[in-house]
């Protein structure tokens, strides 16, 4: 019996969304706080000669209005004598001279340069990077390791998932890494000092520290308690641990005496000794409230220079473009180089402007939604607000608002706040009043603060008390809010 086989060619249409280089640049700049944006702009100025510091020339500047751009001599002619100290060199006009050149010229020869302050403290990141540099790694592994170190929180723990980090590496660094490669590099970092660094949770942090101890029966007991009964250990449930591990009370007490010496926050203690935690918060926004209740908003960009295209580069590009016919290969290569640099500079300028517009739109939407707080400074006036509320008012995507609110700060008349401070879920009381979850948590904390410490409230009792106050919450919701407030269970509050 003959077997026939056939091939069928089918065509399917699939929609794939990809980000253009310009979109990726805009996303990167949007996530940067003010200080990092300043560093990024200065790095771009050094890297791209087609980008200059200064305002874009206006029409009046281009036509050279009398008495504004050029000084005149006694005969009314433009004065081209700029002084012996200021040589134009490669610059055709004084407008083309960068600001720092003019500042150097105006400074007296007798003036001593200002001392640049510096610190002898080694940062948390630099200390770990030094240990990374001593490892035998490929360039790709080293780059991956640096990103992992930069992703650690103040406690020295890695809170982000490996999948999330891989996605970030692909978008922001152009690195395509596999989960196995990331796990391998992370395991190397977890061998660094101090012990426990790079752990993904408390359990892994303690286990990493236990593994470095010398082998002994006590070490094994410690390891068993954390690996098999970590939840019971954190809740101080001794009876369950004794039953589960089948150990004596003496073995348990000896192991606990050693376990409490471990550091659950290795990065935090590291920062205290080398100054990582001593950092100044630079606000990204400045919100000022007048006596009449008027609220004004501005970006804190005083150290971020304005940018423009290099007139020299654009003129050369125009000249090459006009003489395209009969160009040599060298001239074509030069024109391609000029075009690439000018395009890159223009894209960067556009991305910076887009960042400013997006930041202003987002912050203005937050002010509009939380205006009573910005006028009075009373946290109880904060209304429930989620990312979607701001996105709809600012006419932006929710993901864009999320990027803006991450690691950004605003200076107000009442203090400096992270943007995340203004976001919270809502809850409607029995009377129909809408409250933020922050307000409910405040009430919950007051209940715990005023409880009898000899007989603290259980979650069920707290739920009853809140219901009597007009907030009928389920016990599991009360438990969730209690945990978010870092309030332990009742038996641990005695």
Average pLDDT over residues 177-186: 88
The mean pLDDT value for 400-407 works out to 86
Where residue 178 falls among pLDDT bands split at 50, 70, 90? confident
Phi, psi of 390 (to 5 degrees): -70, -40
Query: Which range, 339-348, 365-374, 383-392, 485-494, is most confident?
Result: 365-374
Query: Domain spanning 429-492: which superfamily?
Result: Homeodomain-like (1.10.10.60)
**Confidence band (pLDDT; 50, 70, 90) for 429?**
low
Please report which helix (H) or strand (E) contains residue 388, including its range: helix 387-394
> With 0-12 CB in 10 A as exposed, 13-18 as middle and 19+ as buried, what is 451?
middle
The helix (run of H) or strand (run of E) holding residue 52 is strand 51-53
Query: Which has the minimum average pLDDT: 123-132, 200-209, 473-482?
Result: 123-132
Core vs surface per residue 327-359: b (16+ CB within 10 A) or e:
eeeeeeeebeebeebbebbbebbebbebbeebb
Rounded-to-integer distance, Cα 120 and Cα 406, Å: 30
Q: Of all residues in the chain, what percent carry a pLDDT higher than 70?
A: 76
**Burial degree of 52 (CB within 10 A; 0-12, 13-18, 19+):** buried
Using the predicted structure, report yes or no on whether residue 460 has a pLDDT greater than 50: yes
Within 303-379, residue ranges assigned H as helices are: 311-322, 329-369, 371-376
Mean pLDDT confidence for 272-290: 69
Q: For residue 89, what pLDDT is reported?
A: 42
What's the pLDDT score for residue 236?
79
* Parts of the chain belonging to CATH 1.10.10.60: 429-492
289 - beta bridge partners? 295
Q: Is the dihedral of CA 144, 33, 360, 437 positive or negative?
A: positive
**C-beta pairs of 177-181 under 8 Å, 24+ apart in sequence:** 177/140, 177/144, 181/140, 181/141, 181/144
DSSP of 176-223, one letter per residue?
Answer: ---HHHHHHHHHHHTTSSSTTTT-SSHHHHHHHHHHTSPP-HHHHHHH
pLDDT in tens, 291-334: 888 999 999 887 788 888 888 878 887 777 777 666 677 777 77
User: Which comes out higher in pLDDT, residue 19 or 218?
Assistant: 218
pLDDT tens, position by position, 431-449: 555 566 777 888 888 888 8
- Closest by CA position to 410, among listed 440, 442, 366: 366
Confidence of residue 121 (pLDDT cuts 50, 70, 90): very low
Instruction: Using DSSP, state whether 452 is helix, strand or coil.
Output: coil
Tell me what pLDDT residue 277 has: 42
pLDDT digits 0-9 by tens, 92-118: 444 444 444 444 444 444 444 443 343
Which residue's structure tokens are 């039953």? 243
Residue 354 has pLDDT above 80, yes or no: yes
Distance CA 180, CA 360 (A): 41
Three-state secondary-structure class, residue 432: coil
Which tops the pLDDT comparison, 37 or 53? 37
Dihedral of alpha carbons 290, 295, 296, 301, sign: positive
Distance CA 268, CA 439 (A): 30
Q: How far is residue 71's CA from residue 219's CA, in Å, rounded to a whole number?
A: 82
The whole-number pLDDT of residue 359 equals: 93
Kindly report the average pLDDT of the chain as a whole number. Answer: 77
Over residues 221-276, the pLDDT tens digits come to 889 888 888 888 887 788 888 888 888 888 888 888 888 888 888 877 655 444 44
- From CA 91, how far away is CA 73, in angstroms rounded? 21
Torsions phi, psi of 153, nearest 5? Answer: -85, -175
Whether residue 181 has pLDDT greater than 50: yes
Decide if 156 contacts 189 (C-beta within 8 A): no
Phi, psi of 436 (to 5 degrees): -80, 155
Question: DSSP state, 424?
Answer: B
What's the pLDDT score for residue 92? 45
pLDDT of residue 312: 83
**Burial of 235 from C-beta contacts in 10 A (0-12 / 13-18 / 19+):** middle
Distance CA 186, CA 18 (A): 29
Q: In this predicted structure, what is the pLDDT of residue 85?
A: 38
Confidence class of residue 365 from pLDDT cuts 50, 70 and 90?
very high
Asked if 361 and 395 touch (Cβ cutoff 8 Å), the reply is yes
Cα atoms in the Cβ-side hemisphere of radius 13 Å centred on 304: 22
Q: Is the pLDDT of residue 5 over 80?
A: no
Q: Residue 335 has which token pair?
A: 């024109």
The 10 Å CB-count burial string (b at 16+, else e) for 396-410 is beeebbebbbeebbb
């Amino acid at each position: 019996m003959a077997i026939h086989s056939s091939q069928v060619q089918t065509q399917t249409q699939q929609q794939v969304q990809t980000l253009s280089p310009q979109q990726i640049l805009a996303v990167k700049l949007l996530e940067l706080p003010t200080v990092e944006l300043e560093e990024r702009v200065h790095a771009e100025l050094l890297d791209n000669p087609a980008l200059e510091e200064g305002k874009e020339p206006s029409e009046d500047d281009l036509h050279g209005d009398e008495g504004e751009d050029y000084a005149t001599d006694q005969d009314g002619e433009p004065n081209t004598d700029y002084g012996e100290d200021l040589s134009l060199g490669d610059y055709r006009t004084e407008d083309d001279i960068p600001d720092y050149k003019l500042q150097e010229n105006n400074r007296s020869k007798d003036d001593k340069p200002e001392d640049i302050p510096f610190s002898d403290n080694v940062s948390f990141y630099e200390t770990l990077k030094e240990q990374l540099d001593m490892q035998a790694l490929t360039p790709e592994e080293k780059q991956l390791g640096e990103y992992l170190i930069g992703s650690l929180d103040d406690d020295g723990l890695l809170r982000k998932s490996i999948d999330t980090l891989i996605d970030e590496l692909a978008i922001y660094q152009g690195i395509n890494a596999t989960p196995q490669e990331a796990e391998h590099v992370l395991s190397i970092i977890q061998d660094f000092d101090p012990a426990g660094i790079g752990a993904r949770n408390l359990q892994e942090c303690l286990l990493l520290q236990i593994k470095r101890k010398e082998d002994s029966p006590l070490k094994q007991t410690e390891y068993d308690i954390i690996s098999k009964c970590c939840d019971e250990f954190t809740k101080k449930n001794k009876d369950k641990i004794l039953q589960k591990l089948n150990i004596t009370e003496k073995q348990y007490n000896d192991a606990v005496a050693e376990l409490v010496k471990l550091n659950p926050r290795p990065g935090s203690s590291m920062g205290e000794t080398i100054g990582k935690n001593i950092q100044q918060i630079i606000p990204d926004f400045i919100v000022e409230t007048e006596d009449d209740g008027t609220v004004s908003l501005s970006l804190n960009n005083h150290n971020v220079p304005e940018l423009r295209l290099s007139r020299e580069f654009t003129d050369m590009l125009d000249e090459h473009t006009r003489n395209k016919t009969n160009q040599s290969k060298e001239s074509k290569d030069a024109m391609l180089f000029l075009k690439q640099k000018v395009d890159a500079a223009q894209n960067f300028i556009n991305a910076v402007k887009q960042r400013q517009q997006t930041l202003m739109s987002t912050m203005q939407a937050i002010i509009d939604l939380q205006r009573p707080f910005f006028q009075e400074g009373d946290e109880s006036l904060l209304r429930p607000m989620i990312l979607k509320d701001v996105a709809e008012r600012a006419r932006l995507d929710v993901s864009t608002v999320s990027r803006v609110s991450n690691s950004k700060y605003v200076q107000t008349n009442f203090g400096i706040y992270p943007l995340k401070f203004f976001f919270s879920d809502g809850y409607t009381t029995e009377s129909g009043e809408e409250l933020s979850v922050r307000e409910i948590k405040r009430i919950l904390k007051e209940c715990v603060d005023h409880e009898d410490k000899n007989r603290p409230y259980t979650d069920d009792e707290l739920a009853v008390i809140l219901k009597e106050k007009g907030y009928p919450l389920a016990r599991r919701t009360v438990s969730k809010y209690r945990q978010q407030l870092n309030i332990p269970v009742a038996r641990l509050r005695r």
